[in-house]
Every structure is written in structure tokens, then in C-alpha cells.
Amino acid sequence: MTNEFIKQKLTDKFGEQITNWEEPYGMLTFTVPAAQNLKVMQHLYDEETLRFRFLTDLTAVHFPDRKGEELSVVYHLHNLVDNARIRMKIFVPIETPDVFTASQLFSAANWMERETYDFFGVNFVGHPNLIRILNVDEMDYFPMRKEYPMEDPTRIDKDDEMFGR
Amino acid sequence: MSEPQHHIKLAEESLQKQTTTLNLGPTHPATHGVFQNILEIDGERVLEAVPTIGYIHRAFEKIAERRPYYQITPLTDRLNYCSSPINNMGWHMTIEKLLGIKTPKRVDYLRIIIMELSRIADHLVCNSVIGVDTGALTVFTYVFQLREMIYEVFEEVCGSRLTTNIGRVGGFERNFTEASFTKIHHLLTLLPKGLKEFEILLNRNRIFMDRCIGAGPISAERALNYGFTGPNLRAAGVDYDVRVASPYCSYEEFDFKIPVGTNGDVYDRYLVREGEMWQSVSIIRQALEKVEALEKEFPDQKHVFYAPEADHFHLPPKEDVYTKMEALIFHFKMIMGEIDALPGEVYHSVEGGNGEVGYYLISDGGRTPYRLHFRRPCFIYYQAYPEMIKDGLLSDAIITLSSLNVIAGELDA
């Protein structure tokens, strides 16, 4: 199964809605509108010629500089039969980070979405149990967002200009 | 007769409740790690389990966003600490993929030797712990000798045993010594004997079979839906192995089988791991042969232990650092993390002890990753645990946990 074939199949079904086609290091990558994520995944799952029925990974990335699409949720899907991998991305604003849950389609998404919520605050709409998983329940912020630097901000003995990010 | 006096205030409905709530963990000898399960049991039957994880969460993904690439290797050690070399090399291969470094064949073969040795060490721990939890403590003491010898090989190659930090981007930090080859050859004579002895003690042991067969089963469909990978998925009957599906490190040149099970129960998981250890022994033999053939054909190859293109990411030898200025400068630049990587987005996965260990790396061209996400197989398949032990016995729940080989370090990252 070639990347062109998958791209063709998806374009036939969803047309212009899927954007940003890329192939970094051979993996087909594309962006779908946030509201369409479940529809595209369901189509990838059901369509007999595509069969992307294995959720390898689900995570989020924070881009503070992209206004209106600060949070990106990244899905890695795998077709085990034809051994093809794709990467699907959606972008949501940080004020309303609402994404439809994939946990009804993949049981594996349950904890992965909880982890993503825990660290980035992505609100997975329809998730059966969206609570923190690795951090303490009392935590009131989302630590993997870029506004929380690694080092203690009160320290002045470290020169970030030379040795920091 | 007067009414009995209740001095202890009991919760509403607690007198009517017919089931027992049992707290298993977070620190319990039978869980082999720090995780908690709140079980609802009826007699000895498990009705419900609510797992709580995160007790040893160390925020590796956050830490990695501020570490130069070579400083992330020690973080990967502490994911699945039973087979840390696989994690280390998986991470190095991710950077090599990002930078487009092609490793020499000898490096690939040496890496395969180390990775397969750590796979054996990982599976030995898991399988002998199933023995311990079913009441057969003897096997545990037998095979830990072999694990010890594997660790001696790691010690000879990189200087440490459990959290190895083995290898560097592009290959190894130094060449394999003669002693390490001698140790590997010696180990290869002992491993088949040890594994055979292990199998005689457990494989057809009536008590062991009665305890394990049918305990904690999962179907292939559910296992795939839950994102299982590795021996646990193969025990359910799906022959997915990253080494075959997307070969890395010249695995495509090797001849080996993928053992699969049928029922996905504890016994199948045990047998699959057992079969994989035999395959690993065979892979190590083949790799040693290939190394020898390579050295015979090209005598220069004896001194190849890293990719020349990876020079900017490979620490120079210590004797050069002390005597040559260029080497000292390079050493300083690397240690201070002055070396930038290319911008890019890459996912690379290797077959770890528990399944597909993935690294999703986004680099913005700086000295540290912009974002690094570890796909940790334990974390993903442990969520199936409540479903697997439902309606089974409490003692089955314990051996299911040990047969899944849930490693707390990998679970919590």
C-alpha cells in the first residue's frame, strides 16, 4: 500500500477538508479539521482497502506561537495487514481544546487520552473517565505546556543565553 | 434482648454489601512494582478492578525537552529497566533516522547481539516471576544466574549493568573487547542448557499448567483494540513483530521465527516468551557469525564501532581528548550540548521486551527536542488488566499481572 493510494482514497472521500499533506521520513502525515477527526478515523477503520485498525500512539504537542491552533493532537495509526503507518493531526485553540474521543473506536485510546488530558489539558468530549492519570489529582495546571519551563524560574545563577533553550 | 450497639460508624449500605473491597498495592510483594488496584471481590472471584498508576512518574518527556540528545539516553534506561539497552538503541536509531546517518554493518550486528541479550534477560525475569507467583521459587534462582552473566557482558561493553546507557548516536562509545566476545561465546554455551533446564521444570509441570492455562485470557480482537504489542499480542495469536514488520538494524538479514500462541492466557504468554528466548539465542549466533565473516573478509572492519558520519554526535576517545586539541573541543561542544540537530518530525519504533517501543520526536533544529513522546507498550496494554481478570480468581489476577510483565518504570515514564 503506497502513500499515494491512501492519499487518493482520503481525498476521494473528504476532498479539500484534509490538508497539509507531508511525508516526513516516509510516513504520510496530514491534518484534518478538529470536528472531523472521528469521521476520518472511522473511515480509515471501516474502509476495506484501508483498514487502519491499530492505534499505535496518541499524544499532543503545544505550539504557543500558533494563534488559534496552539494545541495539536497527533494520532499514529497502523494498518497491520499491509504494514502501513500514517500520522493524523488536528489543531485546536488552547481556550477551547475540545476534541472528540476515540475511545469508542479504540479501547487503547482511553488511557492515552487521559494522559494527553493530564499533561496538555485537551478536553476529550465523550470520554468515559477523563481524569488525571500520572499526575496527582490536586494538580491545577497542565505541566507539558510550554509556559512551564523545566528549571525553577526563580533561579538566577544559570545563564540561559549560553546553556539553556 | 436489646439491640446491638454500633460504636463504629459504618458507611451507608456497607452492612448490606455482600462483596469485599480489597486494596492491592501500591507496594505489595505480589505486584512486582509500584501500582495499586482496588479490587471488588466476591469470595475469591474478582468482580471489578480499578487500577491507579503514576506512583513513580518522573516527567521524562518534560525533562527531555531541556536535555541535549545524548543526555536523553539515560532517561530511556529507566523506562523498561529490565531491557534498557533496547530502549537506548531505539533512541539512538531515532536520532540516526532524523539525521540520516547510516550505520555500518558491524555496528548493526553488535547492536543486535546486545539487544537480543537484553531481550533474553527481560523474558527470563518475566517467566521466572510467573514461576514465583505460582509457587515455584526454584526456577527463579536457577535462571537469575544466566541473567547475571548477561549483565556481565553489558558491564564489559559499557561499564554498567542495569541502567546501561549503552552505545552512542551512530554506534558504540568504544569497541567490543576480546573479553566481551569471550563472555558472549561462553554465555551461548550455557544459555541453551539453562533454558532447557528451565523448561523441564515448568513447561509440562502439572501444577504450573493447571494454574496458568485459562488464566487472564484475552482474544486477538480485544488485544488489537487495546493496542497490545510484543509477546502479549503474539500470545493472543497475532504475529506482529516490529523486527519483521519494519526491520531496523539489519534484522531483515536474519533467519528467525515468531512464536505465537492461541488463547492469549498466562500459559501462552509464558510459552511465547520461552520460544522467543530460543530465537534470540539463534539470532545472537547468526550475528556473531556475521561479525566474524565480515572481519575475515575486511580486516579493517575490526575497528569499526560507530558510523563515521555521526562524528558530530560521537564523543571522541578519552586518550584523544587528553592529547589532541580538536578532540577536546569536540568533547566540550558535545557535553555542553552545542551541537544542533536538523529540524524534523520522526517516529521510530523497536521491538522491546514488552512490545513496540516508539519514539515520536519533533525537532525544531535546536540542541534539544521540541517534543519527545515515548510510546510505552506497558502503559498501553495495562489498561486491559481489569477486563482480563474479571470473573477470574484473585490468585489468577496476580499471575496475570506478572505474565503481562508490567514494569512500573515503563508504565509511568
Q: pLDDT in tens for each of the 413 residues of chain B? A: 566 666 666 677 777 788 888 888 788 777 777 888 899 999 899 999 999 998 999 999 999 988 888 889 999 999 999 999 999 999 999 999 999 999 999 999 999 999 999 999 999 999 999 999 998 888 888 899 999 999 999 999 999 999 998 988 888 988 999 999 999 999 999 999 999 999 999 999 999 999 999 999 999 999 999 999 999 999 999 999 999 999 999 999 999 999 999 999 999 999 999 999 999 999 999 999 999 999 999 999 899 898 888 877 788 888 889 999 988 988 888 877 777 788 999 999 999 999 999 999 999 888 888 999 999 999 999 999 999 999 999 999 999 999 999 998 899 88
- What percent of chain A is predicted at pLDDT more than 90? 81
Nearest-Cα distance to chain A for B126, in Å, is 23
Residues in chain A within 8 Å Cβ distance of B383: 107-108, 110-111
Q: With respect to residue B143, please indicate whether it lies within any of the assigned structural domains.
A: yes
Q: With respect to residue B316, please indicate whether it lies within any of the assigned structural domains.
A: no
Across the interface, do A115 and B379 touch by the CB < 8 Å criterion? yes
Domains of chain A as residue ranges with CATH:
3-148 (3.30.460.80)
For A126-158, the pLDDT digits (tens) are 999 999 999 998 899 999 998 887 765 555 555
* B200 and chain A in contact, CB less than 8 A: no
DSSP-derived 3-state class of residue A52: coil
Across the interface, do B347 and A85 touch by the CB < 8 Å criterion? yes
| CATH classification at residue B165 | 1.10.645.10
A23, A25, A72, best to mutate vs chain B, most B CBs in 10 Å: A25
pLDDT at B26: 83
pLDDT at A165: 45
pLDDT at B333: 83
- Kindly list the residues of chain A whose beta carbon comes within 8 Å of any beta carbon in chain B: 24-25, 27, 29, 53-57, 59, 61-62, 74, 76, 80, 83, 85, 87, 106-108, 110-112, 115, 119, 132-136, 143-144, 148-151, 163-165
Greater pLDDT, A159 or B18: B18
Nine-digit cell at A141?
A: 495546571
- Could you give the count of Cα atoms lying within 13 Å of A31 in the half-sphere of its Cβ? 11
Question: How far apart (Å, rounded) are the C-alpha atoms in residues B328 and B349?
Answer: 34
* B373 and chain A in contact, CB less than 8 A: yes
* Closest chain A residue by Cα to residue B345: A24
Residues in chain B within 8 Å Cβ distance of A28: none
Closest CA to B233 of B53, B378, B126: B378
* Closest chain A residue by Cα to residue B380: A108
Q: How far is CA B315 from CA A49, A141, B307, B333, B390, in A?
A: 48, 39, 12, 10, 52
- Could you give the count of Cα atoms lying within 13 Å of A90 in the half-sphere of its Cβ? 26
**What's the total number of domains in chain B?**
1
Residues in chain A within 8 Å Cβ distance of B220: none
Q: With respect to residue B285, please indicate whether it lies within any of the assigned structural domains.
A: yes
Nearest-Cα distance to chain B for A84, in Å, is 9
Beta bridge partners of B24: B37
* B65 and chain A in contact, CB less than 8 A: yes
pLDDT at B336: 75
Contact indicator for A30, A19 with CB cutoff of 8 Å: yes
Q: Are strands A98-100 and A123-125 parallel, antiparallel or unpaired?
A: parallel
Q: With respect to residue B234, please indicate whether it lies within any of the assigned structural domains.
A: yes
Closest CA to B122 of B288, B280, B283: B280
pLDDT at B222: 94
Q: With respect to residue B206, please indicate whether it lies within any of the assigned structural domains.
A: yes
Question: How far apart (Å, rounded) are the C-alpha atoms in residues B24 and B51?
Answer: 9
Question: How far apart (Å, rounded) are the C-alpha atoms in residues A129 and A110?
Answer: 8
Largest distance between two CA atoms of chain A:
60
Q: With respect to residue B211, please indicate whether it lies within any of the assigned structural domains.
A: yes
Q: How far is CA A51 from CA A100, A108, B230, in A?
A: 21, 17, 21
ipTM over 0.85: yes
Q: Which domain range does residue B349 map to?
A: 60-306+340-412
Q: With respect to residue B204, please indicate whether it lies within any of the assigned structural domains.
A: yes
Q: What is the mean pLDDT of residues A68-83?
A: 93
Residues in chain A within 8 Å Cβ distance of B345: 24-25, 29
Nine-digit cell at B333?
A: 561542544
User: pTM for this one?
Assistant: 0.92
What number of C-beta contacts closer than 8 Å exist between A and B?
A: 96
Q: With respect to residue B38, please indicate whether it lies within any of the assigned structural domains.
A: no
Across the interface, do B63 and A150 touch by the CB < 8 Å criterion? yes
B347, B410, B412, best to mutate vs chain A, most A CBs in 10 Å: B347
Question: How far apart (Å, rounded) are the C-alpha atoms in residues A21 and A28?
Answer: 7
